[in-house]
Amino acid sequence: MSFILLGILNSQASGGGGGVAGYFAGGNDENRVSTVNKFAFPTDERSTLGTGLSGVRDRLAGMANSSVAGYFGGGAVVTATINKFAFPSDSRSTLGTGLSAARYYLAALANTGVAGYFGGGANADTVSQSTVDKFAFPSDSRTTLGTGLSASLQQNAGMANSGVAGYFGGGGNGGAVATVNKFTFSSDSRSTLGTGLSSSREALAAMANSSVAGYYAGGGPNFSGRVTTVDKFAFPSDSRSTLGTGLSAATNYFAGMADSGIAGYFGGGTTPSNVATVNKFAFPSDSRTTLGTGLSAARSDLAAMADEAL
């Protein structure tokens, strides 16, 4: 019996036990919305939170301190607001300290149990930013890293190998880039991967199977470009491969989240019409299916996060 219990504990520690739920928030369905859709793990059953965002917002970013709370920050109308959704009640509050400056088209990632990060984006004058704000868990106190992104970027994407490092990849500033910046969590020191994305892309999405690999999907070489490509970065080597099966359609302005050890999800976006599609990539095979129940409405420029119960 002790052997069985040990096996269960090891499975849960690696993410193999499965998480609780993933959330897709905000976006634009021809008008900005405050909607938050919740997908229960492992059934993928969808519900819509009675309390959505504190206001209608698109072009925002999401991250989560699994088992504790999820956060949706920034967005347009251009704001510094960060809404916090407590797990498991999904009750919403708004942080007294938001981003260090109002911005949209930013990215986010989290080191569960330690801190969450919001990086890049554009200010109200559409000027790209290199700022990375860090929110310590559980106090939610904010600092701004002395070393931000290696360049000012918007429409970038973030994912993390929790406990090890976070990655901000792609984005643009007068032209798309293939750059992937890596922030080591123990020091918040930044390096740039020798091998970036397989092509320069902005308006992409990302998610990670923590301790195994991170994925950057879709986006394109400019604001109207889009591809089906999914690049996979193996942890801890950061070696890149490209999945044989990409997204079900070329997509940009969408969002990604994951249930580590089980599956990753990419939802919404434009193809070029707004879609409600949610693609699911099973771990470790990376085989793709499309959920029978997608988002509650077709929308783009949304954000995602997940309670992975890591």
Q: Tokens 């860090």 map to which residue? A: 134
Q: What angle do CA 2, 261, 245 make, to 5 degrees?
A: 150
Q: Which residues make beta-bridge pairs with 73?
A: 61, 82
Q: Which of 299, 241, 287, 291 is nearest to 33 (CA)?
A: 299
- At residue 10, the pLDDT reads 34
pLDDT at 8 over 90: no
SS (H, E, C) the chain: CHHHHHHHHHHHHCCCCCCCEEEEECCECCCECCCEEEEECCCCCEEECCCCCCCCCECCEEEEECCCEEEEECCECCCCCEEEEECCCCCEEECCCCCCCCCECCEEEEECCCEEEEECCECCCCCEECCEEEEECCCCCEEECCCCCCCCEECCEEEEECCCEEEEECCECCCECCCEEEEECCCCEEEECCCCCCCCCECCEEEEECCCEEEEECCECCCCCCECCEEEEECCCCCEEECCCCCCCCEECCEEEEECCCEEEEECCECCCECCCEEEEECCCCCEEECCCCCCCCCECCEEEEECCC
- Look up the CATH number of the domain holding residue 213: 2.120.10.80
Q: What is the pLDDT of residues 147-175, one digit of tens each?
A: 999 999 999 999 999 999 999 999 999 99
The CB density around residue 108, as the number of other CB atoms within 10 Å, is 32
Query: In sequence order, what are the beta bridge partners of 77?
Result: none
Q: What is the pLDDT of residues 19-49, one digit of tens each?
A: 999 999 999 999 999 999 999 999 999 999 9
How many structural domains are present in the chain?
Answer: 1
pLDDT in tens, 59-108: 999 999 999 999 999 999 999 999 999 999 999 999 999 999 999 999 99
Q: Which residue range forms the structural domain that includes residue 131?
A: 2-307
Strand partners, 39: 22, 46
What percentage of residues in the chain have a pLDDT greater than 90? 93
10 Å CB burial of residue 1 (0-12, 13-18, 19+) is exposed
Decide: pTM greater than 0.85. yes
